[in-house]
Amino acid sequence: MPVKTITAAQQRRDAQIFNMLSCAAILLMPLVIPALLWIAASIFVHASIAHHPNQRVRDYLYPGGYRFYGLVGALVVGLNFSPQMSKAVGGGIRLLFLVWLVSVLVVVPLAVRDILRARKENWQDITVETPHE
């Protein structure tokens, strides 16, 4: 079987990418389109990293996925009551900023922590057998 080397830099990037893109999507959430695109694209990124040969890479992925997908699920449920919530907070614009603030607080701080932890971690090149080349 052919052997492939996955460099330390590739593993570090793989450990960071889901959290980086989740942060970007949340920070750009008021623009709607980037957040929606990331929700769709994140499924493919998550699935590809979930099968990474290095367990440490997957260990950075799973908490980021729980935070991001948990937030998205809560928004789907909670925003069904947006007419009532917008009245309670004083309008739709205030609700938008409140939802955005909560989203940033849920995802960004822990994602940045994980990104920095992955940067500091001592990654080593690994070799894996590939079924075909």
Structure tokens at 66: 């729980």
Distance of alpha carbon 19 from alpha carbon 112, whole angstroms = 7
| The model's pTM | 0.85
Q: What is the mean pLDDT of residues 80-109?
A: 93
CB 50 within 8 A of CB 61: yes
Q: Which helix (H) or strand (E) holds 45?
A: helix 33-50
Q: What is the mean pLDDT of residues 43-48?
A: 91
